Amino acid sequence: MALAMPVVWSDRHRQHDPGGEVWVGIRIPGTEVPERADRIRDALTAAGAQFFGAARQRDDALLAVHDRALVDYLSTAWDEWEQAGLPTEPGQDRVVPYVFPHPGLGAPAAMPAAPSARAGYFAYDTMTLIGPGTWEAARAAIDVAVTAAQLVLAGAPAAYACCRPPGHHATRTAFGGSCYLNNTAAAAARLRSMGEVAIIDIDAHHGNGTQAIFYDDADVRVGSVHVDPGAGWFPHFVGFANETRHGANRNIPLAPGTGDDGWLKAIEDLATWARPARALVVALGVDAAAGDPESPLTVSAAGYRAAGRILGRLRLPTVVVQEGGYDLEAIGGLVLEFLTGIEEGAGG
Ligand code: SP5
Ligand code: ZN
């Protein structure tokens, strides 16, 4: 049977080609590439899914979850980098930060004047590069996620936002982890008129940006299952089980190597915990799959199907927002398994 839920899409994702990432000071090929979204689109097209173009959203869709200073910076970062001549001298063709307002500086950080330093005011890592089309693509990804939320507000039982770049590592004030604007958070903010919203993040990495955005917000509960940052994995500094904010935040870190059994048990726990909510946003990373180059979890395609069934059984109005997943041969099939599972769980 064809996938029933609407799939929201924008071609503008292609304008973002990060051109690699700077890791331990070295520019290496990145895995968050334009082909990712196209691979997912192809798998869903083959499954008979219906695609809808994203509707342009007003700036309030972003400003619900991000400070204006971050939005203003991202929208002009490439232009100011280029105007400063940095692509020719020293020859850096992407915005790459080099110095950061570390708390150890011991005084409140001022906004730096130099474009090279301004990058580090807003970025928290060196891996999340900005090029000429990054802003347009990140802005379009918000349009995709919020359009999916609008479809659910209008009565669709579920909708899938096929967006990139991903978003769950972007906080209210800072970007990183291949993420610029938090698409999942923007979708959740749009659903608030339905009542309490639950976000369940099943990307292999902790959704630190989403957690931070809603940390003081009693109406949005945020749960995440991910590889244990304490075992050496991104985002390293946060994502631990003791970050609970009196029960409205729930982190379930898993040991590297964890497969279907441990991962699905965690998702069952998150689903039970989410039940009082009136709407659900799933941050769908398919990088927990065995074989993904960015994570040591070993979930199977059947595991993604089962995860969809567990969350579909909640029968909450549901927006699924694409996050990570980097094994180009596998990601389309994994997304299809999960979305099919959602429909099976909701229908059965
Ligand atoms: C959205 C999402 O899944 N973001 C994941 C970002 C994790 N990136 C961490 C990269 C850590 C360094 N990788 C270097 C690989 C060298 N083989
Ligand atoms: Zn991830």
Cβ–ligand 1 distance for 317 under 6 Å, the answer no
Determine how β-strand 26-28 pairs with β-strand 21-23.
antiparallel
Query: What tens digit of pLDDT does each residue of 120-150 get?
Result: 999 999 999 999 999 999 999 999 999 999 9
pLDDT computed for residue 348 by the predictor: 64
Cα 233 to ligand 2 centroid, rounded to whole Å: 10
Mean pLDDT of 270-282: 98
Q: Indicate whether residue 287 lines ligand 1 (CB < 6 A).
A: yes
Distance CA 150, CA 155 (A): 9
> Radius of gyration of the chain from Cα atoms?
19
Tell me if 269 sits within 8 A of 254, measured CB to CB. Answer: no
Residue 133 carries which side chain, given as an amino acid letter? G
Question: Dihedral (C-alpha) 31, 14, 336, 305: value to the nearest 10 degrees?
Answer: 40
pLDDT the model gives residue 10: 98
* Residue 1 confidence (pLDDT): 77
Give Dmax (Cα) for the chain. Answer: 61
What are 319-335's pLDDT values in tens digits? 999 999 999 999 999 99
Average pLDDT, whole number, for the chain?
98
Look at residue 136 in the predicted model and tell me its pLDDT: 98
275-293: average pLDDT? 98
205 C-beta closer than 6 A to ligand 1: yes
Residues 6+ positions from 166 with CB-CB distance below 8 Å: 32, 141, 177, 178, 179, 183, 203, 285, 322, 323, 324
94 alpha carbon – ligand 1 mean position (Å): 18
Mean pLDDT over 61-89 rounds to: 98
Which residues, other chains included, contact 185 with Cβ-Cβ below 8 Å and sequence gap of 6+? 65, 167, 168, 199, 209, 210, 213, 214
Is residue 178 within 8 A of residue 30, CB to CB? The reply is: yes
Give the tens place of pLDDT for each residue, 8-60: 999 999 999 999 999 999 999 999 999 999 999 999 999 999 999 999 999 99
Point out the residues that are catalytic.
169
Whether the CB-CB separation of 294 and 335 falls below 8 Å is answered with: no
Question: Please, what sign has the CA dihedral across residues 214, 200, 162, 329?
Answer: positive
Q: Is 36 in the pocket of ligand 1 (CB under 6 A)?
A: no
How far is C-alpha 241 from the chain's CA centre? 20
- Residue to mutate, 233, 294, 335, ligand 1, most ligand atoms under 8 Å from C-beta: 294
Mean pLDDT of 162-166: 98
Question: In the chain, which residue ranges form alpha helices assigned H by DSSP?
Answer: 35-46, 60-63, 68-83, 115-122, 134-153, 183-191, 208-213, 260-274, 301-312, 331-347
Rounded to the nearest angstrom, the distance between the alpha carbon of 298 and the centre of ligand 2 is 13
Strand partners, 345: none
What would the mean pLDDT of 244-257 be, rounded to a whole number? Answer: 96
Does position 246 have pLDDT exceeding 90, yes or no?
no
Residues paired with residue 280 on neighbouring β-strands, in sequence order: 198, 318
Q: What is the pLDDT of residue 210?
A: 98
pLDDT tens, 291-310? 999 999 999 999 999 999 99
172-223 residue pLDDT tens: 999 999 999 999 999 999 999 999 999 999 999 999 999 999 999 999 999 9
How many helices (H) and strands (E) are present in the chain, helices listed first?
10, 10
